[in-house]
Structure 1
């Protein structure tokens, strides 16, 4: 009995000493001149023991950038079925009434779901209802001069082609959707699209394929759909009452992986809108956010200011602790082989393909968040002892580029990997 007690006390003492060393070493690495010249938060948690491993400004609010997509992922995972809903429809008096649900995948340049097109090609007397959304085409706090940037397409109830026109110059001009081909001018201009209409500009010397957001509205959606299905579509301002049928498309995990690996803002925004379709006939990303925060995330340590799905807005404010809270929920609810595949892997995939490399085994599965003067990384860290830790490392208000920030983050994360 005495020997067992001594052994127990010895293990506790060693554990405490090891933890103290980790805290001291990590703190020393953060309190260098580099990190002191910015605002940094770092929170590390062990989901197996429920212990906080390290906390440095973990309860303070940061601009998360695309770390916001972690909350969007959790919302979609919670509310959406295995196959994503594409649209709802009802047949009345020989007329097919359809309304979009915000699904981002229809003819998306990379995801390329054709479920909607196949369905409509077998229908007649189609009427499109477009007034089932409350969200503005742009999110709160988005930069106005990003209107022509590939990473900021508009939001709408029935996205097509990722809400971007894809242009390329080969032997002739390639444009997709084809509807916009006659609205392209070869010219070197400051912006790639007119601000208030769908007229596009491409540099005559441009060799790469480029993507430019187009302005979305009911008529544009109608014309694009008519070109695809080769039959007339009418606009209607009323949707008949009665039981609606839902058309489903591709599996959700494929879309989640694209959102997280490429940090696809458009998919993130639309997934939040699509999630709201499970709560109401009116599409509202606000409704989806409020529902998740009031229910599944009601125990979150610090309530975030969460205004969009992608993190494009600088109005968003999240703490490292709140990030870890949601990451832990995902860790408990999704098998790790699937979860770690959805997140980018350091040295191998996505936005951290060239950073946080394992030697030889990958040890980081995490989402980046990048805006000017902001770089965040939140996810899962696998230690050499076999533990999986959950962390959020948030950096705001530095003057240089993110490469230097990542350079200084790397040895700190590696030290935890090697010593915990």
Structure 2
């Protein structure tokens, strides 16, 4: 055979094997249903409780892997993603903080549900300044909130816990009383209005030092004896229009009256704080109080009345009517076990959020970031200092979920929802296994 033909055949053979090798090595980095299934199903923890998982490719707009993706799960604080998206759709750059009307020598005002008034972290002063500086007589109209002080399905047994603040039209100072020991070892409370409501109780002997509120009144019992020097506790107070008036008067140092008056259409709106700062504080620490109040703020855009259910119904009809499975949605925060969502619906919602914001760095800054911030700070490690997962956690007893955004080492942008219900292991074990699996997907693809 001529040498020229041998060389030609050698070149052809080399090209053929080069193409095959490139194809094989290229495929090794492709995310396939089989590969993800193997990672997911090799987990022993996933086998002994109800688990759902959905993994979606943002760029290809297709589901890569799904298991129990259309089954309904208790979402816990993953519910806040629904509140977040509804607020993105209904509220502008700033939160409506107050509706008001100036009539003769009076300033009449209505709450919008805005959580930022004298809030411990949000530090908004615009509503306070308006009321403080007005030369007119102040009157609070309290009749525009239509709802209970708790969300649908909330447990009454948690009334003393910081995370279950009551819902009302005009919250003040997070709607929680903050207790701590002063330098002299005496029990102090903020707002100081409640100092006279403290009652030592010789029969109250909890295992660990704590303060306990009466179920339906603002009386706070505490044990006799020495108060631990580093003691701190937050307890929701029992809301009422009369308490709102008392707290406003105590803060403003001026009289405030209480009236029953329907809000006229020409009532002015005072905006209080940038919306993004409120969303961020809701999402990073998973703040239930802000989530519930935000739904009221959304409903304030519909009419003069404040209603959680009205905001939910409007959002489901106008913004969420194309989700894969209809959400059973009862409250803003996820405290209710009546909330039920599917993994594929949460993935679809996260895609809607991403398209609405249309700015990944901004979106990521609002969410807990693995290894860096919020409820994911201690769950993940960064990849050489760079986070690769951003999302929302959701935790109740026997419930732990994560839903969010994942970027792999190869730059693939994914959305996932990993839901776990009815387990009896410690939550820490479920959380660690989710982190292991999500991290493996990041590393391999």
TM-score interval (norm. to shorter): over 0.9
Q: Is 2:109 the counterpart of 1:95?
A: no
Where does residue 181 of structure 1 map in the other structure?
195
Where does residue 13 of structure 2 map in the other structure?
none
Where does residue 428 of structure 2 map in the other structure?
403
Measure the CA separation in 2 of the matches of 1:49 and 1:10: 25
Closer/same/farther in 2, CA of residues 95 and 10 from structure 1, 3 Å limit: farther
User: 8 Å contact 1:22–1:416 — kept in the other structure?
Assistant: no
Q: Is 2:377 the counterpart of 1:353?
A: yes
Larger Rg: 2
Question: What's the TM-score, normalizing by structure 1?
Answer: 0.93
User: 8 Å contact 2:86–2:319 — kept in the other structure?
Assistant: no
Q: Deviations over 1:252-286 (max 9, x none)?
A: 11111111111100000001111111111111111
Query: Shift in Å at residue 329 of structure 1?
Result: 1.0
Closer/same/farther in 2, CA of residues 161 and 248 from structure 1, 3 Å limit: same
**Bigger CA drift: 24-33 or 6-15?**
6-15
Measure the CA separation in 2 of the matches of 1:272 and 1:295: 15
Q: Choose from 69, 73, 81 the match for 1:58.
A: 69
Measure the CA separation in 1 of the matches of 2:169 and 2:272: 16
Q: Is 2:364 the counterpart of 1:340?
A: yes
Q: Is 2:407 the counterpart of 1:366?
A: no
**How do residues 235-246 of structure 1 correspond to structure 2 at under 5 angstroms?**
235-239=258-262, 241-246=264-269
Measure the CA separation in 1 of the matches of 2:93 and 2:305: 22
SS state at 1:49 partner: coil
SS state at 1:152 partner: coil
Closer/same/farther in 2, CA of residues 392 and 9 from structure 1, 3 Å limit: farther
Q: Choose from 141, 149, 154 the match for 1:137.
A: 149
Where does residue 3 of structure 1 map in the other structure?
none
SS state at 2:414 partner: strand
Query: Shift in Å at residue 27 of structure 1?
Result: 4.0
Query: Shift in Å at residue 240 of structure 1?
Result: 5.8
User: 8 Å contact 1:117–1:228 — kept in the other structure?
Assistant: no
Where does residue 126 of structure 2 map in the other structure?
115
Measure the CA separation in 2 of the matches of 1:240 and 1:24: 59
Closer/same/farther in 2, CA of residues 248 and 42 from structure 1, 3 Å limit: same
Query: Shift in Å at residue 400 of structure 1?
Result: 1.2
Query: Shift in Å at residue 13 of structure 1?
Result: 8.6
Q: Choose from 287, 305, 324 the match for 1:264.
A: 287
**Bigger CA drift: 14-23 or 232-241?**
14-23
Structure 2: state its 5+ residue gaps: 1-16
Where does residue 379 of structure 1 map in the other structure?
404
**How do residues 10-409 of structure 1 correspond to structure 2 at under 5 angstroms?**
21=32, 23-30=34-41, 32-123=43-134, 124-170=136-182, 171=184, 172-187=186-201, 188=204, 192-203=212-223, 204-206=226-228, 207-239=230-262, 241-334=264-357, 335-360=359-384, 361-409=386-434
SS state at 1:141 partner: coil
Query: Shift in Å at residue 81 of structure 1?
Result: 1.7
Structure 1: state its 5+ residue gaps: 1-5
Measure the CA separation in 1 of the matches of 2:140 and 2:22: 68
Measure the CA separation in 2 of the matches of 1:288 and 1:381: 30
Query: Shift in Å at residue 16 of structure 1?
Result: 7.1
SS state at 1:366 partner: strand
**Bigger CA drift: 194-203 or 57-66?**
194-203
How many residue pairs match? The answer is 416
Closer/same/farther in 2, CA of residues 119 and 273 from structure 1, 3 Å limit: same
SS state at 2:174 partner: helix
User: 8 Å contact 1:357–1:363 — kept in the other structure?
Assistant: no
Measure the CA separation in 2 of the matches of 1:333 and 1:125: 43
Measure the CA separation in 1 of the matches of 2:265 and 2:160: 40
Measure the CA separation in 1 of the matches of 2:72 and 2:24: 34
Measure the CA separation in 1 of the matches of 2:163 and 2:395: 12
Measure the CA separation in 1 of the matches of 2:294 and 2:200: 34
Measure the CA separation in 2 of the matches of 1:342 and 1:161: 23
Closer/same/farther in 2, CA of residues 240 and 34 from structure 1, 3 Å limit: closer
User: 8 Å contact 2:143–2:262 — kept in the other structure?
Assistant: no
Measure the CA separation in 2 of the matches of 1:51 and 1:222: 54
